[in-house]
Structure 1
Amino acid sequence: MNNKALDLAFDKEHLWHPYTSMQSPLPCYGVLSASKCMIQLENNQQLIDGMSSWWASLFGYNVRELNDAAKKQIDKMAHIMFGGLTHSPAIELGKKLIQITAKPLNKVFFCDSGSVSVEVALKMALQYWHARGTPRSQFLSLRNAYHGDTFGAMSVTDPNSAMHELYHHFLSEQLFAPQPNIAFGETWDSRDLFAITQMVIKHKDNLAAIIVEPIVQGAGGMFFYHPEYLKGLRLLCDKYNILLITDEIATGFGRTGKMFACEHAQISPDILCLGKALTGGYMSLAATLCTDNIAKTISQGKAGVFMHGPTFMANPLACAIANANIDKLLSGSWLDKVAKISLQLNTYLKPCTTLDNVEAVRVLGAIGVVQLKQNIDVAKVQKLFVEQGVWIRPFGKLIYIMPPYIITQGQLKKLCDAIFYVINKLL
């Protein structure tokens, strides 16, 4: 191993990290290596990873099966263009995705990242209606939605959030329904669908699609809403002839206790966006799946083709790793592991409800959330967590964890104890 000291001074001066200032950047901690659920810093301190590297590393780091898949594939070809050429890793991955997703989804478009998957989905919806001879130009999303940082994805992300407010006047104007009121596990009331139903009725002739994060609104607030709301959206789209896009980039591959969050409502979308955990956190890869009807309609339109083609789509190395990742997921007892994590999160985070500065505690599958009453000083809180030997990255008023499925009970308890300690320290 190369133990050469990291040049953190150069990093601070020249490397622009996500969501931070170059004038006074948030502190960065140098990483030497990572294995299983542990991150080793340059000072040899070990941190338990509570974030799965932004929800992507299902089985932690340095996973033998994924390493082997990468080594085996790289000697064949690391990349080849997908225009006019194809290869076994892409074909096998396509088969797997069709097998594990809802039955009507049988066309797979590979792309680069989660945000690009959303861009592809939006373009599919627009081109679908254009091909039908009845162009539609607007999308309906939810307040507190988050769908990515590229321009199309930003346009269907809540414009009033701090995330993308700066770009509001440069984005296409979309429609936003109120956030669902009824949380997962609460008593359902159909009146929760009234507002969005009225919007659909008013704008149905120009609505290309409704796009939602199913069940879990992620970066917009980590809110878990009732499955009946999602079921109601599917019925609305069917009744008024509108496409339904579900963004499962954060929720896919078992994170909510189901393989895909749509399964909580027993519905299938017309277009599905996947990313993040697709490769187990090893490489950037995403996919947008659609129904046969959408693919055929687009292909019969004026263009005759779908007008999108990322350079690195279906990258063989990424596809090979994704195949190994899905095989590992399907061959293991992921459902039991996520259920155990969920029970442990409910137990270990419960003490946080006694703290005066805590607004709410929420758990769904392998997601645990503590919502505070005030915004968090990220640099201060991050330092406190590192001192406790854990890696947790808060935002806004939220401290949340989405640990790898292989986490031990002791490691998970240490993560939750650190959350209690840090919040109590903030009082």
Structure 2
Amino acid sequence: MSHNQAWMERDLAVLWHPCTQMKDHEQLPLIPIRSGSGVWLEDFDGKRYLDAVGSWWVNVFGHANPRINARIRAQLDSLEHVMLAGFSHQPVIELSERLVALTPPGLSRVFYADNGSSGIEVALKMSFHYWRNAGRGGKQRFVTLTNSYHGETMAAMSVGDVALFTDTYKPLLLDTFKVPSPDCYLRPEGVSWEDHSRAMFAHMEHTLAEHHGEIAAVIVEPLIQGAGGMRMYHPVYLTLLREACDRYGVHLIADEIAVGFGRTGTLFACEQAGITPDFLILSKALTGGYLPMAAVLTTDDVYQAFYDDYATLKAFLHSHTYTGNPLACAAALATLDIFRDDAVIERNKGLAEHMGRACAHLADHPHVAEVRQTGMALAIEMVADKADKTPYPWQERRGLAVYQHALARGALLRPLGSVVYLLPPYVISPEQIDFLAEVASEGIDIATREAVSVSVAAGGPATFHDPG
């Protein structure tokens, strides 16, 4: 028995894995990972896999990064954790100061949570509570975009719209307004991204005009709808949305959990629209992919709505046990140091251009409807019919064939349904990008053959959608 096989058997005897139909693993082997270094992961049999998806979009500076490792080790010797209610510590103060300085102007307060979904819950609760404290208790509903994803806790699912994750739980979810997405994949032929995004804003304008008296906030994933298939839109939509939220007296929540920290070509996606949201949610790359943490940044106006005598009961009495954990703060501070010292955003421009060139040929593939890119995120949409963008039936699980081929070739590519995407760590080299493009091309050829094997199709819905 191989080392991998031994660990896999032990795993399957006790674990229940996320975003997985466990019956699939009767045919689809688990990959137990022993170590990571840079862009590479290594299993217990010594095989390496290039991490093309940043281990669910979190790893930006490579596995076992020596600078992040050293900062965490140093912190471990002084303070591992202390509750943040009534207490504080140096790393959380320094991190908060730096986030306020780096994020769009006007965001002056930082509230911490334990993960991205929890950060969404904080922002939704804080917006609702703000209006209640302000004497506008009727503003209780939220607006979200179709095909959006904001996490898998109850309120986060309520403002999401990826059916695979939400349909089962609909009886438990909040009633929200869902506005058609500005997703530019769906634009008419010959229409630019900007013109399509402008045109699609009419739906949002109408919803806000009709219902602003009952709306607390609009929540969006700026520029890229991640788990919805890496669908992308133009920054002008965010500019128009900020203006409309101001006009109608509605909060704007920017979920930059997946797109923050350089993924879209700027440090934060909101910068490309020149806007400041009322709430900015950060997670994933915040700690370089090391430890779970989320930061919710907001304005002094929001903060002051809660600042009062205790007896008024206006305080935001929300907490997480590991809020502002010093080890996670240390990882985040080291991550910010690398952004500061290594000209990361500028280097990423060259890498993004190379990634675009390496994958450009796939636009001519007979079963690829689009190759789209925003910064260091590139997506390839496989379809049954290129002419009218007819998707493959989800039951065929074409993306799974790409995943399996990539593993055989030594790459971790985990498609979103029929969308193959690259979201690599920023320490990737041009040569490694070329390798991923080659593997993706081969995998797409295999996956789009008429007789593609779907040996685990009976395992249930398209489990190769990813949580954010």
Task: Give me the TM-score of the superposition, normalised by structure 1.
Answer: 0.96
CA 1:101–1:243 in 2, change beyond 3 Å: closer, same or farther? same
Equivalent residue number for residue 371 of structure 2: 361
2:4 touches 2:45 (CA, 8 Å); kept in 1? Answer: no
The aligned counterpart of 1:133 is: 135
Letter aligned with residue 261 of structure 2: F
| Structure 2 match to 1:97 | 99
More displaced stretch, 375-384 vs 336-345: 375-384
Matched, 1:284 2:287: no
2:112 touches 2:296 (CA, 8 Å); kept in 1?
yes
What do residues 306-358 of structure 1 show as CA deviations (whole Å, max 9, x unaligned)? 12010000001110111011111111111122111211111111121122221
Does the residue aligned with 1:360 lie in a helix, a strand or coil? Answer: strand
Residue of structure 1 equivalent to 2:446: 425
1:186 match: 193
Q: Is the 8 A contact 1:246 1:273 kept in 2?
A: yes
Larger mean CA deviation between 411-420 and 6-15 belongs to 6-15
1:162 Cα deviation from its structure 2 partner:
1.4
- The alignment partner of 1:164 has SS state of helix
Of 4-13 and 94-103, the range deviating more from structure 2: 4-13
Report the secondary structure of 1:306's partner residue. coil
What displacement does 1:196 show?
1.1
Listed as ranges, the gaps of 5+ residues in structure 2 are 384-391, 450-468
Give the whole-Å Cα distance in 2 for the aligned partners of 1:262 and 1:156.
20
Percentage of pairs with the same residue: 35
One of 14, 32, 47 as aligned partner of 2:49: 47
- In structure 1, the residue matched to 2:17 is 17
Match of 2:148 among 141, 145, 148: 145
More off after superposition, 299-308 vs 107-116 = 299-308
- AA in 2 matched with 1:163: F
Match of 1:386 in 2: 407
User: Shift of residue 31 of structure 1?
Assistant: 0.7
CA contact (8 A) 1:272 1:289 kept: yes
Alignment partner, residue 198 of structure 1: 206
CA distance in 2, matches of 1:42, 1:278: 29
1:264-289 deviation digits (Å, cap 9, x = unpaired): 11111001100000000010011001
Q: 1:230-275: per-residue Cα shift (whole Å, max 9, x none)?
A: 1110010010010100000001011100010001111110011000
Size of the alignment, in residue pairs?
424
Q: Which amino acid aligns with 1:419?
A: A
- Structure 1 residue 24: deviation in Å? 3.3
TM-score (structure 2 length as normaliser): 0.88
- What residue identity is the alignment partner of 1:32? R
Q: Verify the 8 A CA contact 1:182 1:188 in the aligned structure 2.
A: no
Residue number in structure 1 paired with 2:158: 155
CA distance in 1, matches of 2:66, 2:164: 40
Q: Which residue number in structure 2 is paired with residue 322 of structure 1?
A: 332
Give 1:413's aligned residue: 434
8 Å CA contact retained: 1:345, 1:363: no
**Equivalent position of 2:462 in the other structure:** none
The answer for the alignment partner of 1:221 in structure 2 is 229
After TM superposition, the structure 1 stretch with the greater mean CA deviation from structure 2, 374-383 or 58-67, is 374-383
Task: State the Cα RMSD in Å.
Answer: 1.7
Q: Is the 8 A contact 2:41 2:51 kept in 1?
A: yes
When residues 47 and 23 of structure 1 are mapped into structure 2, their CA distance, relative to the original with a 3 A threshold, is: closer
CA positional deviation for 1:55: 1.1
SS in 1 for 2:195: coil
Q: CA deviation at 1:126?
A: 0.6
Corresponding residue of 1:68: 70
Alpha-carbon distance change, 4 to 257 in structure 1, aligned in 2, over 3 angstroms: closer
Map of 1:336 onto structure 2: 346
Decide whether the 8 Å contact of 1:257 with 1:365 is kept in 2: yes
- Provide the C-alpha distance between the structure 1 equivalents of 2:75 and 2:288, rounded to a whole number of angstroms: 16
- SS of structure 2 residue aligned to 1:318: helix
Matched position secondary structure for 1:53: helix
Partner of 2:217: 209
Q: 1:5 touches 1:42 (CA, 8 Å); kept in 2?
A: no
Shift of 1:387: 1.1
Partner of 1:400: 421
Q: Say which of 279, 304, 308 aligns to 2:318.
A: 308
**Matching residue within 267, 270, 276 for 2:278:** 270
Instruction: Give the Å deviation of 1:298.
Output: 2.2
Inter-partner Cα distance in structure 2 for 1:191 and 1:323:
41
- Residues 376-422 of structure 1, C-alpha deviation per residue, up to 9 Å, x if partnerless? 34543322101111111112121111111110111111011100000
Query: Does 296-305 or 200-209 show the bigger shift?
Result: 296-305
Report if the CA contact (8 A) 1:256-1:364 is conserved.
Answer: yes
